[in-house]
Amino acid sequence: MHDFMRSAFDEHRVSVLTPRERDVMAYVAVGKPNKIIAAELGVSQRTVEAHRARIFQKMKVRNAVELAHRLLDPGGGCQPS
């Protein structure tokens, strides 16, 4: 898992993810496409899509951009005025 993500995790939400969901989340957070994630993890693209859907649901985000933002700024303290 990437170092920048370790210190910024919202531990409560991330703790409910399975180890495989955490693996997929690390790839999603850096912008890897499902096809690449599937190939690197040795699973089908559909399996990656299912993991992504559960990750988004558990992390309470709607897309990969929100996920990356949540991981980088879990407190949401940097809001533009």
pLDDT, tens only, 31-54: 999 999 999 999 999 999 999 999
Average pLDDT of the chain is 84
Structure tokens at 22: 């955490």
The answer on pLDDT for 67 being more than 70 is yes
Chain centroid to CA 78: 20
Between CA 22 and CA 14 the distance in angstroms is 8
Chain centroid to CA 74: 12
User: Is the domain covering 3-72 a CATH 1.10.1200.10 domain?
Assistant: no
The answer on pLDDT for 8 being more than 60 is no
Residue among 17, 29, 33 nearest 73 (CA): 29
pTM score = 0.77
Output the pLDDT for position 27.
Answer: 96
The answer to whether the beta carbons of residues 25 and 17 sit under 8 Å apart is: yes
Output the pLDDT for position 49.
Answer: 98
